[in-house]
């Protein structure tokens, strides 16, 4: 089996209701869809989601179509790690982060999808499964949602069988975060889990200050307290 074609397309749509995290309003969303085809008629696909649309989906699609895709034509799609290494080397000089990494990841996911279809097996089994069930949570709380709305969405998640929910933090004051967390906790109960996500908005000192409070309140995890590349700050926070 050989790869014969790699095609990336971009789509975008406006959100009917904008949502907000600690960094920005998200009023639109975009996707880059990658399809990999083979000489045996089996294909695999992936979807890269952008929380807010500028031109990133189109730029990524162009990069995949013109740079990454042509490099893997004729390759065996089952040699996933070899293809990944090849694309890393291709982009290494100019940088393998940002959109380049998005493109490599999208191709990697599409290859796994292709292998699953070729073998008539779910990808989780190909990856070496250890269990038949995994915990799941619901994303229930954007920063623009009032507390009553947070509680309503959380209640629905509990009724659907979720054990926990994740909510955004990073309101202008810690007191606002506390009130919002308490509102969600009142719905999930003692056996439910509440995770918080700051979207990399805090300084080290503010993350420490708020993180201690989140911990005292019993939050299960504190996601993205600092910039992802602030390794020194993350080490200090840990």
Per-residue pLDDT tens for 16-44?
A: 888 999 988 888 889 999 999 999 999 99
Q: How far is CA 130 from CA 108, 109, 134, 219, in A?
A: 22, 20, 10, 27
Of the candidates 102, 126, 150, which is a domain's last residue?
Answer: 126
Q: How far is CA 145 from CA 38, 180, 202, 210, in A?
A: 46, 9, 20, 20
Residue 221 contacts by C-beta under 8 Å, 6 or more apart in sequence? 195, 196
Same domain, 7 and 71: yes
Percent of the chain, pLDDT > 90? 81
Longest dimension (CA), the chain: 60
Provide the residue range defining the domain that includes 155.
137-237
Per-residue pLDDT tens for 60-94?
A: 999 999 999 999 999 999 999 999 999 999 999 88
Structural domains in the chain (count): 2
Q: What are phi and psi of 185, to 5 degrees?
A: -60, -30
């Amino acid at each position: 089996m050989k790869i014969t074609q790699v095609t990336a397309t971009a789509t975008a749509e406006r959100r009917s209701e904008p949502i907000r995290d600690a960094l920005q309003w998200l009023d639109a969303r975009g996707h880059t869809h990658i399809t990999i085809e083979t000489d045996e008629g089996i294909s695999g696909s992936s979807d890269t989601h952008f929380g807010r649309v500028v031109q990133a989906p189109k730029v990524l699609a162009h990069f995949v179509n013109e740079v990454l895709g042509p490099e893997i034509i004729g390759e065996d799609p089952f040699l996933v790690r070899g293809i990944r290494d090849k694309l890393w080397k291709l982009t290494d000089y100019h940088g393998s982060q940002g959109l380049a990494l998005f493109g490599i990841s999208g191709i990697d996911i599409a290859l796994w999808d292709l292998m699953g279809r070729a073998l008539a097996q779910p990808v989780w089994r190909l990856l070496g499964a250890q269990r038949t069930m995994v915990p799941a949570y619901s994303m229930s709380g954007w920063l623009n949602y009032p507390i009553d709305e947070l509680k309503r969405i959380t209640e629905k998640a509990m009724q659907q069988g979720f054990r926990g929910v994740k909510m955004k933090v990073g309101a202008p004051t810690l007191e606002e975060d506390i009130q919002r967390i308490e509102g969600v906790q009142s719905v999930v109960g003692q056996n439910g889990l509440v995770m918080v996500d700051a979207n990399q908005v805090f300084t080290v000192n503010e993350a420490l200050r708020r993180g201690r409070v989140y911990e005292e309140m019993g939050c299960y995890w504190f996601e993205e307290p600092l910039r992802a590349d602030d390794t020194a700050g993350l080490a200090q926070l840990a």
